Amino acid sequence: MPRQTSFAKAGDITPQWHHIDAQGQVLGRMATRIATILMGKHRPEYTPHVDTGDFVVVTNAEGIVLTGNKLDQKVRKTFHYYPGGQKVTPYRKVLERHPERLIQEAVARMLPKSRLGRQMLSKLKVYRGAEHPHQAQRPQPLALN
């Protein structure tokens, strides 16, 4: 008799906490690794329709690196339904003002566009400096190299 495939249930998974130091990390490569952890694809019990992911704490967000000329050529677009409501901001300005937004948006684009994806994204905690308020959870350092 063949073995049955086991699916994880919502209460069976105990999420772990991971800490990533973004100093000197390439944005896209770091974002793909974070998205994999948030979705839970690094676990053997990964189930697509259940949030099996872990928490990720990212510090030193202002130290991320964009390769090539992306700091000047890539732009962040926001749009409001009023005349002249489109804002185009180069990544260089966003990195100076709100570097945590670059990481959150890069990771959000790699997650599912659904209720489950929004739940996964809520497990991402990004901070500009080296300090974070999640010391009590004892996040394990995660090397991305």
pTM: 0.91
Look-up of token digits 């339904």: 81
pLDDT single digits (tens) 40-73:
999 999 999 999 999 999 999 999 999 999 999 9
Helix, strand, or coil here: 2?
coil
% of the chain at pLDDT higher than 70: 99
- Residue 130's pLDDT band, with cuts at 50, 70 and 90, is very high
CA atoms within 13 A on the CB side of 6: 6
Angle, helix 99-108 to helix 27-39, in steps of 10 degrees: 50
Distance (Å, whole) CA 42 – CA 35: 10
For the chain, list the domains and their CATH numbers: 17-66+98-141 (3.90.1180.10)
